[in-house]
Amino acid sequence: MCFKPWKLLGCILGMMLLAGCNYNPPAATQEAAFSPAAASRLATTLSITATIPSEMTTPGAATVEPAPSAPTIQEYPVPRGAHPHDVAPAPDGSVWYTAQGSGELGRLDPETGKTRHIPLGSGSAPHGVIVGPDGVPWVTDSGLNAVVRVDPVTEAVQVFPLPPGSGNANLNTATFDGGGVLWFTGQSGIYGRLDLTGGKVEVFDAPNGRGPYGIATTPLGDVYFASLAGSYIAHIDLKSREATVLEPPTPDQGARRVWSDSQGRQWVSEWNAGQVAMYDPTSNQWHEWRLPGEHPQPYAVYVDERDQVWLSDFGANALVRFNPQQETFEVYVLPSAPANVRQILGRPGEVWGAESGVDQLVVVRYNQR
């Protein structure tokens, strides 16, 4: 009981605060059985939001902001044997993926869970897929030894083969520079470009031979690629076409993929070292952080719209988010194993991965605040 007027006021305020608490009971975070209807339902998590009734606020008084909801994970099955390698969410809401096991380009509708496959040609073994500035999926196909364009409306397939004498390049990944030229890598020891104005494909020898793997473009249009076997990243001079090697501090770290943040800093997944590295071209300085866990194996790397760094970790069967400001990691263990997420891309509020080991795609949805 409250015996004093001011104590009585305190009791009333306490009860009013409790009345302002909204409780949402937890829902299942993973569907028990896949169905189109189930695929369209987002996983939800327990959330308790504290609010202060408007009549209790006073000018200059502190308010309690709703806590951001926890990220959720959802998986989407694709046809068995597809072995999706790379994934690329499109502006229209659909998601493209390379069905490396069947030689096709897949398309997922996340609203229904339905997929559709487009054959790319005899001998196809597609590795990478990106969505270009034209909204069209572009594929680096190691089986065809060519760059492939697929019309999203007519599903017409256009093939741009490497020049004669290029050999089997083992094509990997592609990116568009600021001028609309497509650049690509080949693990046999090459990088190249496709000028869409004339359809000409050029190939160049990479420094130190075998290894070119991931490739990415900065907000200013510069292009960098990572060499897994060479354990370096390289900056491509878009005029001279020459590549300048930039070596991380850790020897033989196995730089696998690379991605740029909004400031043009390069983030690198170091497969052999279990680290994520950052190269700042402004200061020419490197920084490295080891992922949590006993045996981290960071494969893919992607930087979201808030400059949060995402990696796929084979060692933990997880997607990992790194906060560069706080230098902290968050680990999201994947429901299926071994997922073997070899590449991740995203769009605001979503990070998508291709679970090559279990014939699924996976998405992490997060609050953008």
Q: State both tokens at 360.
A: 């699924």
Q: Bridge partners of 204?
A: 191
| Cα–Cα distance measured from residue 266 to residue 259, given in angstroms and rounded to the nearest whole number | 6
Using CA atoms of 307, 93, 186, 203 in order, give the dihedral in degrees to the nearest 10.
-100
Find the distance separating the first CA and the last CA of the chain, reported in whole Å: 42
| Cα–Cα distance measured from residue 43 to residue 72, given in angstroms and rounded to the nearest whole number | 6
Tell me: pLDDT of 32 over 70: no
Q: Is 39 helix (H, G, I), strand (E, B) or coil?
A: helix
Q: How many CB atoms lie within 10 A of CB 217?
A: 17
What pLDDT band is residue 51 in, cutting at 50, 70 and 90? Answer: very low
pLDDT of amino acid 67:
52
The continuous run of DSSP H or E covering 36 comes out as: helix 36-39
What pLDDT band is residue 38 in, cutting at 50, 70 and 90? Answer: very low
The dihedral region occupied by 199, where left means phi > 0, alpha psi between -120 and 50, and beta the remainder, is left
pLDDT of amino acid 68:
63
Largest Cα–Cα separation, the chain: 94
pLDDT of amino acid 69:
75
The continuous run of DSSP H or E covering 97 comes out as: strand 95-99
What pLDDT band is residue 14 in, cutting at 50, 70 and 90? Answer: very low
Give me the helices (H) in the chain, please: 5-19, 36-39
Pick from 21-35, 78-92, 186-200: least confident: 21-35
- Cα 336 to its chain centre, rounded Å, is 18
The continuous run of DSSP H or E covering 3 comes out as: none
Which has more confidence, 69 or 164? 164
Average pLDDT, the chain: 86
What pLDDT band is residue 353 in, cutting at 50, 70 and 90? Answer: very high
Average pLDDT over residues 327-352: 98
What pLDDT band is residue 44 in, cutting at 50, 70 and 90? Answer: very low
Place of tokens 């020897």: 251
Q: What is the DSSP string of 323-362?
A: ETTTTEEEEEE-SSTT--EEEEEEETTEEEEEETTTTEEE
Classify domain 72-365 at the CATH topology level. Answer: Methylamine Dehydrogenase; Chain H (2.130.10)
105-146 confidence digits (pLDDT tens):
999 999 999 999 999 999 999 999 999 999 999 999 999 999
Give the domain ranges of the chain: 5-56, 72-365
176-218 confidence digits (pLDDT tens):
999 999 999 999 999 999 999 999 999 999 999 999 999 999 9
pLDDT of amino acid 20:
39
Tell me: pLDDT of 28 over 90: no
Tell me: pLDDT of 11 over 70: no
pLDDT of amino acid 46:
26
What residue type is 317 in one-letter code?
N
Which has more confidence, 188 or 36? 188
What pLDDT band is residue 368 in, cutting at 50, 70 and 90? Answer: confident
